[in-house]
C-alpha cells in the first residue's frame, strides 16, 4: 500500500485500489479485491450486496491519479500541494455487476492534455469481462495558500 500512498492522497475507507499492477507511458493498471466487510454493503443492498457503480468509477479515477503522479514526476505538478481533482465525467457505461469477493482489474489510458487538465479513459474488468467503461478528466489543482 505504501506505493499507492506515495502517489495519491486517498486513504481508507475511501481508497478503492489494493495493488498497482503496471504503470507505463500511456496509462496504468491496478486491482481491487471487493471485500464483503466494506461498510457500504450494509445498505447497498442488504441481502444482495452490489458494489456501487459510483465507487467503481472512483477506482478508475484513483488509478488515473496514480498514473498522473508518475507521469508528471518530471514536471512541477507532483509536490504535496497538488491534488488530482475530477473535472469531468462522460459516457459511463455499466455492463456487469460487481459483488463481494470479486477481484477487479482497473485500467486507464491517457488521452489529450490541456494545461493542467488530463482527459482519460478507463475500464473495470471482472473475470476478464468489462464491467465498466468511462471517459473522464482530472485536473491537477494546487492548494491555495492559507490566509
pLDDT at 37 over 70: yes
More confident: 146 or 116: 116
Per-residue pLDDT band for 43 (boundaries 50, 70, 90) equals: very high
Mean pLDDT for all residues in the chain: 92
The pair phi, psi for residue 27, each rounded to 5°, is: 180, -160
**pLDDT value for 28:** 98
- The answer to whether the beta carbons of residues 124 and 131 sit under 8 Å apart is yes
pLDDT at 96 over 70: yes
Give the whole-angstrom CA distance, residue 126 versus residue 59: 13
Take residue 145 and report the three cell numbers written for it. Answer: 495558500
Q: What is the mean pLDDT of residues 22-49?
A: 96
- The answer to whether the beta carbons of residues 31 and 18 sit under 8 Å apart is yes
Which residue in 10, 44, 71, 116 is the catalytic one?
44
Q: What is the mean pLDDT of residues 102-127?
A: 97
- The answer to whether the beta carbons of residues 62 and 17 sit under 8 Å apart is yes
DSSP annotation of 146 reads: P
Per-residue pLDDT band for 80 (boundaries 50, 70, 90) equals: low
For 5-9, 60-64, 140-144, which range has the lowest pLDDT when averaged over its residues?
Answer: 140-144
10 catalytically annotated: no
pLDDT at 26 over 90: yes
**pLDDT value for 78:** 52
Amino acid at each position: 500500500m505504501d506505493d499507492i500512498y506515495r502517489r495519491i492522497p486517498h486513504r481508507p475507507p475511501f481508497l478503492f485500489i489494493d495493488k498497482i499492477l503496471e504503470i507505463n507511458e500511456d496509462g496504468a493498471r491496478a486491482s481491487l479485491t471487493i471485500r464483503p466487510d466494506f461498510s457500504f454493503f450494509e445498505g447497498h443492498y442488504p441481502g444482495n450486496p452490489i458494489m456501487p457503480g459510483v465507487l467503481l468509477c472512483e477506482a478508475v479515477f484513483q488509478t488515473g491519479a496514480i498514473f498522473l503522479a508518475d507521469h508528471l514526476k518530471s514536471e512541477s505538478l507532483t509536490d504535496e500541494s497538488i491534488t488530482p481533482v475530477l473535472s469531468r465525467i462522460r459516457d459511463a457505461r455499466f455492463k456487469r455487476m460487481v459483488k463481494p469477493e470479486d477481484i477487479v482489474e482497473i485500467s486507464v489510458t491517457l488521452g489529450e492534455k490541456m494545461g493542467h487538465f488530463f482527459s482519460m479513459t478507463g475500464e473495470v474488468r471482472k473475470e476478464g469481462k468489462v464491467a465498466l467503461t468511462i471517459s473522464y478528466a482530472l485536473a491537477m489543482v494546487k492548494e491555495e495558500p492559507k490566509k
